[in-house]
């Protein structure tokens, strides 16, 4: 029976797409899967909650800037390498699939040292530091965007496969009626869904606070404020704040007409899987490598999203952008079609096909 090891973590954006791949793989036939992730944080609870065996390892963060913690984390990376190597040597998987994040580097290095074939996937348009390291040892490099290949060395060309982003099946199968039932909103009302991530996004929350009177004219505003956010706007008939959506998220997303949020890879591809038009305010500035801006511009160029960034972010600009979409049915429909076109590619299925091909090469070689 084939056995596949998975690695990745640090954020849900590195875990949920990997779980989508693992789930699709398990639905194809008998196989065993296990996950190597961070020994701290939410990695274990998310993975084990999906019924997958989990092994925690020490994980040092990969920083692009000078910090004394970089020196300390070298030892965590080394400890993670030896711990992961011990796990892989004992479990003897046929392949290792990496979804990225700083925790994925030690298992990928360990797999390479043991001769275990490695696949890695990059969700963003430009590869992060962990992916740049992991691709050096990977037999297959999966990308969500065709343009990602330009960021990688030409010698990797034959290993790169365009797959799109893997999305959990719950999103493709989501039911708008169930979402409206959960929210208590009847079918005649239009919904603007505001997403700031599980921890919230202060910039977006502040904009919603300022613009709420205008936004609630065409829409009932359903707002994920974030679990760590102290939020004092009271619920009303036209405004519904929630700290965080869990298993309800696919249904709530299906019930929405328009989505306002950041442009993390997971969120925007989940929206695309349901053909939702978007207004994106990407995270930018010195604390980010610019991946959200790149993702947002791709969706904007495709016609699936309107983007506000940099000096273009203001309450007036947000109101004008949302209302211009809300009051133009033809524009919304065109954005929805463009969004659905991007989301039509089944990333999990594409990745599993390539993984099976690599496994067959190994078995027959």
Query: What are the sequence ranges of the domains in the chain?
Result: 3-166+346-364, 170-343
Q: Which of 82, 79, 74, 126 is nearest to 100 (CA)?
A: 126
Query: What tokens appear for 57 in the block?
Result: 């390892």
365 DSSP 8-state letter? -
CATH number of 170-343: 4.10.320.10, 3.40.50.2000, 1.10.10.10, 1.10.287.70?
Answer: 3.40.50.2000
Other CB atoms within 10 Å distance of the CB of residue 124? 25
The dihedral region occupied by 292, where left means phi > 0, alpha psi between -120 and 50, and beta the remainder, is alpha
Collapsed DSSP state (helix, strand, coil) of residue 41: coil
Give me the DSSP letters along 8-22.
--SSHHHHHHHHHHH
Q: In this predicted structure, what is the pLDDT of residue 135?
A: 97
Helix axes of 315-326 and 329-343: crossing angle, nearest 10 degrees: 90
Please count the CA atoms within 13 angstroms of the CA of 56 that sit on its side-chain side: 13
User: 3-166+346-364, what's its fold?
Assistant: Rossmann fold (3.40.50)
pTM of the model: 0.90
Q: Which of 118, 152, 147 is nearest to 132 (CA)?
A: 152
Examine domains 3-166+346-364 and 170-343 and report if their fold is the same: yes
Q: 242 phi and psi, to 5 degrees?
A: -135, 135
- How far is residue 191 CA from its own chain's centroid? 23
Give me the tens of pLDDT residue by residue for the chain, a chain 365 residues long: 889 999 998 777 889 999 999 999 999 989 999 999 998 878 899 999 999 999 999 986 655 555 556 556 777 889 999 999 999 999 999 999 999 888 999 999 999 999 999 999 999 999 988 999 999 999 999 999 999 999 999 999 999 999 999 999 999 999 999 999 999 999 889 999 999 765 547 889 999 999 999 999 999 999 999 876 678 889 999 999 999 898 999 999 999 999 999 999 999 999 999 999 999 999 887 667 789 999 999 999 999 999 999 889 999 999 999 999 999 999 999 999 999 999 998 899 999 999 999 988 877 86
* Angstrom distance (rounded) from CA 276 to CA 336: 5
């Amino acid at each position: 029976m084939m056995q596949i090891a998975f690695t990745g973590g640090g954020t849900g954006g590195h875990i949920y797409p990997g779980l989508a791949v693992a789930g699709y793989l398990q639905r194809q036939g008998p196989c065993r899967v296990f996950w190597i992730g961070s020994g701290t944080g939410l990695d274990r609870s998310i993975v084990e909650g999906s019924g997958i065996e989990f092994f925690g390892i020490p994980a040092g963060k990969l920083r692009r800037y000078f910090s004394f913690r970089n020196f300390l984390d070298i030892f965590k990376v080394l400890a993670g390498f030896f711990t992961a190597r011990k796990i892989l040597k004992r479990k003897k998987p046929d392949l290792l699939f990496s979804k990225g994040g700083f925790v994925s580097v030690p298992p990928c290095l360990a797999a390479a040292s043991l001769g275990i074939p490695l696949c890695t996937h990059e969700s963003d348009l430009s590869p992060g530091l962990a992916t740049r390291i992991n691709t050096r040892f990977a037999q297959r490099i999966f990308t969500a965007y065709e343009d990602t290949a330009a960021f990688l060395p030409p010698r990797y060309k034959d290993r790169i496969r365009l797959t799109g982003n893997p999305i959990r099946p719950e999103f493709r199968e989501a039911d708008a009626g169930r979402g409206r039932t959960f929210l208590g909103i009847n079918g005649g009302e239009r919904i603007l869904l505001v997403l700031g991530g599980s921890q919230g996004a202060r910039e977006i929350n502040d904009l919603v606070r300022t613009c709420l009177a205008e936004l609630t004219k065409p829409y009932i505003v359903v707002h994920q404020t974030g679990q760590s956010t102290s939020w004092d706007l009271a619920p009303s008939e036209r405004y519904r704040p929630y700290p965080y959506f869990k298993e309800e998220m696919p249904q709530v997303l299906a019930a929405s007409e328009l989505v306002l949020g950041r442009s993390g890879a997971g969120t925007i591809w989940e929206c695309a899987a349901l053909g939702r038009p978007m207004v994106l305010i990407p995270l930018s500035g010195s604390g980010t490598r610019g991946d959200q801006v790149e993702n947002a511009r791709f969706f904007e160029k495709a016609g699936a999203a309107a983007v506000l960034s940099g000096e273009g972010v203001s309450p007036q600009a947000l109101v004008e952008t949302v209302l211009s979409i809300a009051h133009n049915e033809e524009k919304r429909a065109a954005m929805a079609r463009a969004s659905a076109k991007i989301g039509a590619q089944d990333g999990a299925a594409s990745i599993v096909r390539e993984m099976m091909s690599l496994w067959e090469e190994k078995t027959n070689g």
